[in-house]
């Protein structure tokens, strides 16, 4: 089950009564604090490794290319389908870049 905060593999941290799992104590704490107060800063990620940073930049480039192709510079003006397509482009680019960089890391 992936971490409820960052979607990386969970490592056994979690709340048994909620079913959420986390990759670190920090993300477990973030989740707890999100339900104690509505702080958007809890969604930020501060521990990206170099592969994740490269994948994040690839996602950003893909989303930028999508916006240019759509002739749009203001994401607030995207319709629902355009928004979903932009997010999908970013997710696909992130996953593809991470898979490329970590192809020798996967144990199976």
pLDDT tens column, 68-103 = 998 988 888 889 999 899 999 998 998 899 889 888
9 forms beta bridges with 2
When divided into structural domains, the chain yields a total of 2
Same domain, 25 and 60: no
Same domain, 70 and 88: yes
pTM of the model: 0.57
7 lies in a domain? yes
Q: What is the pLDDT of residues 10-41, one digit of tens each?
A: 666 665 545 677 777 777 777 666 665 544 44
Q: What is the pLDDT of residue 58?
A: 94
Same domain, 59 and 95: yes
22 forms beta bridges with 13
Q: What is the pLDDT of residue 35?
A: 63
- Structural domain harbouring 94: 50-101
Same domain, 42 and 54: no
64 lies in a domain? yes
DSSP states of 84-103: HHHHHHHHHHHHHHHHHHTT
Q: What is the pLDDT of residue 43?
A: 44
Structure tokens at 19: 């079913």
């Amino acid at each position: 089950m992936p971490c409820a905060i960052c979607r990386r593999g969970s490592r056994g941290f979690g709340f048994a009564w909620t079913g959420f799992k986390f990759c670190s104590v920090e993300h477990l704490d973030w989740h707890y604090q999100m339900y104690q107060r509505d702080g958007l800063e809890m969604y930020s990620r501060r521990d990206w490794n170099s592969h994740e940073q490269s994948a994040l930049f690839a996602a950003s480039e893909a989303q930028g290319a999508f916006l240019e192709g759509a002739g749009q510079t203001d994401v607030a003006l995207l319709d629902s389908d355009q928004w979903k397509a932009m997010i999908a482009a970013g997710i696909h680019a992130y996953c593809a870049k991470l898979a490329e960089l970590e192809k020798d890391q996967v144990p199976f």
